[in-house]
Structure 1
Amino acid sequence: MATGARPPDLPDLVRVQDRLTFVYLERCHIHRDANAITSTDDRGTVHIPAAALGALLLGPGTTVSQQAMLLMAESGSTVVWVGEEGVRYYAHGRSLAHSSRLLEAQAKLVTNQSRRLAVAREMYTMRFPGEDTSGLTMQQLRGREGARVRRAYREHSQRTGIRWTRRDYDVDDFESSDPVNKALSAANTSLYGVVHSVIVALGCSPGLGFVHTGHVRSFVYDVADLYKADLTIPLAFDLAAEEPFDIAAAARHALRDHFHGGAFLDRCVRDIRHLLLPDETADALEAGMSENVVSLWDGSRRTVAGGTSYDEDT
């Protein structure tokens, strides 16, 4: 008696950097048809290839079947439940990687103070091109970042003619925000979902952050912050100037179009690998992440083969 469909082998799945970034669905029924996710509403049914999808964002009014969730998990895709207007989300994903190399590197770096600071500095270096951050403390890095973000808000306000006061939003009252803040909230939620999907697909922990800490998505916020000043902030001001009927939906559509044209997933994968294993080549990492081998720790840095019975005489 069969217990279910056989999970696909890792080589059969689309690499995370080659996938669609995200698809947003609302007020529909989501099921499975062979290796595709189906979305059905009063306009008809749409088929979405699960193995080519990075993140599925489920908005209000969606119902999803167990078989659809099973297919998403087997395909290494992340499902994100998004609140009204995309203000909140809850996510779960299954890694595309068989190896824990990146996860172990992440844990090793984040639990050593000097190494953690080095990664945090590198993150800020990636956001401050041409600036020397090698001798800065975390307090000084935060100060630089705060000044940089305020400058970005000011410059885009002047560029678009849209008045800006401060980042201000209420997750329980989306409509109370001004247009720029609405667009920022919606765009950032989508950005977090895509970054989360890349992190879990690579086998890393969303909760082990280097700058952010104490939250289950700390590393998601770390990585997303690499892109906000160049991506979601200018987008929010541009949309506020255009005054679309539904600025949250417009933000998601514009961000998705940018992701498609800018090879964002590939960039995100490279950045995470650079931060966690900077000395590894892309080819070596690709080969290592697909190894489906379980070993046993033998003390220090040594390992022995798993699946073997060891007794005192071995």
Structure 2
Amino acid sequence: MTTVGRRPAGSPRQLPRAADRAGFVYLERCTIHRDANAITVEDAEGTTHIPSATIGTLLLGPGTRITHQAISVLGETGAGVVWVGEHGVRYYAAGRALSRSAALAEAQASCWANRRTRLEIARAMYQLRFPDEDPSGCTRQELLGREGRRVKDCYRVQAQRTGLTWHGRRYTPGDFASSDPANQAITAAAQAMYGVAHAVVTALGCSPALGFVHSGHELSFVLDIADLYKTEVGIPVAFDAAATSPEDVGARTRRALRDRIHELRLLDRVVADIHRLLLPGRGTPVVTEERDEVTLLSDRDRQVSAGVNYDLETSW
């Protein structure tokens, strides 16, 4: 019988691109097993099969149990796994997604380590969010001030559009129920978007920690990427869900956000935007090789083949 250890991992060409997957799947109060290349979800209503390669990130809520084999197939197919709290609003831990190339990670580290390019990417992120403004020449403090005003304006506009009374952004960490329905929906949408962004960031081989706007947290870059779509996608969906009904607003927001992500093909944009930010002018690379390629770094940034002994002084 073929064991997990002997089962070959899928090549990059065999795996669906991150952009072609579902944004996220949220599960709670169930047991997750493996059946061939799918995961099975068992709950009070029966058993559901989900092809693992179609999942961008799996959000595991309260009451979930998952087997080693299920985690194994999710890892083989490059799906992200995030453990979250009640209503999906508290992040606990995440599993590692499949990554084969270091190109984006190296570009990210290079841009992050240089103060000038770090600011340039922060400005580029701002312009991606608000293309009607030119942030050229803005300091970081000016970017933060502009961003704060635009987000406040977005809250006000969406409240007027949906007819909700808005008293400002209010959220108490660890106390989801204490907020009004609009704030609950915004929190649920934000947390779901963090999961989506985390799945794409790790799938592309980037470091979640090296942020250009956020800093000092293990998910700084994830927060950067998720925020790119806050005013366009997350906040409008949240206000729509809150305006429909105050009941079960967190779950309804996640479902509405999932549908909106699919409708906009947002994962395509996330992948393209990350490449555009970190590797400007190069476009989105297409995987053409079925094998991993590992090289060694020599002088003047020259790359040489791995698996070769370069000691020329001894012959044994």
1:72 paired to 2:74: yes
Q: Which amino acid aligns with 1:43?
A: E
Distance 1:289 1:98 in 2: 11
Instruction: Report matched runs for 1:87-236 at 5 Å.
Output: 87-89=89-91, 90-95=93-98, 97-236=99-238
**CA distances 1:213-238 after superposition (whole Å, capped 9, x unpaired):** 11111001101111011111112222
1:49 paired to 2:51: yes
Q: Which amino acid aligns with 1:6?
A: P
Distance 1:245 1:132 in 2: 41
Partner of 1:308: 308
2:135 is paired with a residue whose SS is coil
Distance 1:188 1:152 in 2: 15
Q: Quote the RMSD (CA, aligned, Å).
A: 1.6
Distance 1:244 1:66 in 2: 38
Distance 1:287 1:44 in 2: 39
2:57 is paired with a residue whose SS is strand
Q: TM-score, normalised to structure 1's length?
A: 0.95
Query: Conserved in 1, the CA contact under 8 Å of 2:13 and 2:289?
Result: no
1:311 is paired with a residue whose SS is coil
Distance 2:41 2:221 in 1: 31
* Displacement after TM superposition at 1:289 (Å): 8.6
Partner of 2:265: 263
Partner of 1:25: 27
1:12 paired to 2:17: no
Aligned residues: 311
Partner of 2:245: 243
Q: Which stretch shifts more, 150-159 or 108-117?
A: 150-159
Q: Which amino acid aligns with 1:88?
A: R
In structure 2, the CA distance between the partners of 1:235 and 1:115, relative to structure 1 (3 Å rule), is: same
Structure 1 segments of 4 or more deviating over 4 A? 288-291
Partner of 1:297: 297
Q: TM-score, normalised to structure 2's length?
A: 0.94
Query: Conserved in 2, the CA contact under 8 Å of 1:98 and 1:291?
Result: no
1:140 is paired with a residue whose SS is helix
* Displacement after TM superposition at 1:303 (Å): 1.7
**CA distances 1:86-129 after superposition (whole Å, capped 9, x unpaired):** 1112222223x421000000000000000101100100111121
1:163 is paired with a residue whose SS is coil
**CA distances 1:237-291 after superposition (whole Å, capped 9, x unpaired):** 2222111520000001100111111101101101000000011133xx2237976
Structure 2 stretches lacking a partner, 5+ long: none
Distance 2:49 2:173 in 1: 32
Structure 1 stretches lacking a partner, 5+ long: none
* Displacement after TM superposition at 1:304 (Å): 1.3
Instruction: Report matched runs for 1:34-45 at 5 Å.
Output: 34-45=36-47
Query: Conserved in 1, the CA contact under 8 Å of 2:90 and 2:174?
Result: no
Query: Conserved in 1, the CA contact under 8 Å of 2:171 and 2:183?
Result: yes
Distance 1:178 1:94 in 2: 35
In structure 2, the CA distance between the partners of 1:138 and 1:59, relative to structure 1 (3 Å rule), is: same
* Displacement after TM superposition at 1:155 (Å): 1.2
Q: Which amino acid aligns with 1:304?
A: V
* Displacement after TM superposition at 1:74 (Å): 0.8
Distance 2:97 2:38 in 1: 17
Distance 1:69 1:151 in 2: 42
Distance 1:289 1:261 in 2: 31
